[in-house]
């Protein structure tokens, strides 16, 4: 049964989002993606409608304090992941470090991220990294870098890596949480990017031996 376009109930709902879609069309695109991947349900749909009524342009949500961004419940997170992967939403490294992207390998399929991550995985395999390290690193750092910058692998910079590392250190200071696995994955990522000719220096310390399967 097709979804009814009943989202735009207030003038603000017709606002054009950062992706160039009006909120109603953005909702429909999300529902279509859920249906195509066998995940559509009324709970996700209601949560998406509520979120997009509040934030007809999700980029405005991305500018809110971290606590407000984290307030989006588990029923809304599939929408946020969809917006990040398919509609260019940049939620901030602070948010990306707070959320496990457990469904990311499924979500990037048929998105612009897939060939970029495939390229990273291929290059890391050429360097001799194990499958475990390749997958752990790919989901921890490159995916988050691509989401937050909105740029392909070849346009990442040392400054992007440094910004991600700084976010890890800031969260560590704020929460007392160790980020050794992320920092090691950043080191591995930099090694691969150096191999690809994207950055011009190897990491000073760290390595793949600390990378864990924590996405």
Question: In this structure, is residue 1 part of a structural domain?
Answer: no
CB atoms within 10 A of CB 66: 15
Identify whether 75 is part of a domain: yes
φ/ψ region of 116 (left if φ > 0, alpha if ψ in -120 to 50, else beta) reads alpha
Look over the chain and give the mean of its residue pLDDT values, rounded to a whole number. Answer: 87
Are 87 and 46 in a shared domain? Answer: yes
How far apart (Å, rounded) are the C-alpha atoms in residues 160 and 166? 10
DSSP symbol at 200: S
Cα-to-chain-centroid distance, residue 92: 9
158 and 128 housed in the same domain = yes
Do 156 and 191 belong together in one domain?
yes
CA 111 vs. chain centroid, Å, equals 12
117 in the same domain as 82: no
Task: State the burial class of residue 165 (Cβ atoms within 10 Å of its Cβ: 0-12, 13-18, 19+).
Answer: buried
Q: Is residue 106 part of a domain?
A: no
102 within domain boundaries? no
Q: State the pLDDT confidence band at 40, using cuts at 50, 70 and 90.
A: confident
Q: What is the pTM of this model?
A: 0.84
Residue 80 inside a domain? The answer is yes
The share of the chain scoring above pLDDT 90, in percent, equals 79
Task: Classify residue 45: in a domain, yes or no.
Answer: yes
The whole-number pLDDT of residue 14 equals 39
Q: What share of the chain is helix, strand, coil (3-state, %, to 5)?
A: 60, 0, 35
In this predicted structure, the answer to whether residue 57 has a pLDDT above a threshold of 60 is yes
* Res. 10 pLDDT band, cuts 50 70 90: very low
Q: What pLDDT is attached to residue 88?
A: 95
74 shares its domain with 128: no
Cβ neighbours of residue 134 closer than 8 Å, sequence gap 6 or more: 121, 124, 125
- The separation between CA 36 and the C-alpha centre of its own chain, rounded to angstroms, equals 20
Burial of 4 per CB tally in 10 Å (0-12, 13-18, 19+): exposed
Domain count for the chain: 2
Which of 60, 91, 122 terminates a domain? The answer is 91
- Same domain (yes/no): 41, 78: yes
Residues 123 and 200 in one domain: yes
Range of the domain at 79: 11-91
HSE (side-chain half, CA atoms, 13 Å) at 143: 30
* Cα–Cα distances in angstroms (integers) from residue 10 to residues 6, 16, 179, in the given order: 11, 14, 43
- 125: helix, coil or strand? helix
Using DSSP's 3-state secondary structure scheme, residue 155 falls into helix
Q: How far apart are CA 89 and CA 150, in angstroms?
A: 8
Q: Quick check: 23 and 8 in contact, CB under 8 A?
A: yes
* Residues facing 16 on adjacent strands: 22
């Amino acid at each position: 049964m097709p979804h009814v376009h009943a989202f735009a109930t207030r003038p603000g709902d017709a606002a054009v989002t950062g992706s160039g879609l009006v909120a109603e069309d953005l909702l429909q695109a999300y529902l279509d993606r859920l249906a195509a991947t066998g995940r559509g349900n009324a709970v996700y749909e209601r949560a998406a409608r509520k979120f997009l009524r509040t934030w007809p342009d999700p980029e405005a949500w991305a500018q809110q304090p971290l606590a407000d961004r984290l307030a989006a419940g588990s029923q809304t997170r599939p929408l946020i992941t969809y917006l990040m992967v398919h509609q260019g939403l940049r939620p901030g490294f602070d948010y990306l470090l707070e959320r496990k992207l457990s469904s990311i390998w499924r979500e990037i399929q048929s998105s612009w991220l897939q060939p970029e991550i495939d390229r990273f995985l291929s290059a890391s395999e050429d360097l001799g990294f194990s499958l475990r390290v390749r997958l752990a690193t790919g989901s921890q750092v490159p995916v988050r870098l691509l989401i937050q910058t909105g740029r392909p692998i070849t346009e990442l910079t040392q400054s992007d890596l440094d910004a991600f590392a700084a976010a890890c250190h800031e969260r560590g200071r704020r929460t007392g949480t160790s980020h050794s696995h992320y920092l090691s994955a950043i080191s591995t990522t930099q090694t691969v990017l150096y191999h690809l000719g994207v950055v011009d220096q190897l990491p000073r310390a760290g390595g793949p031996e600390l990378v864990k399967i924590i996405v």
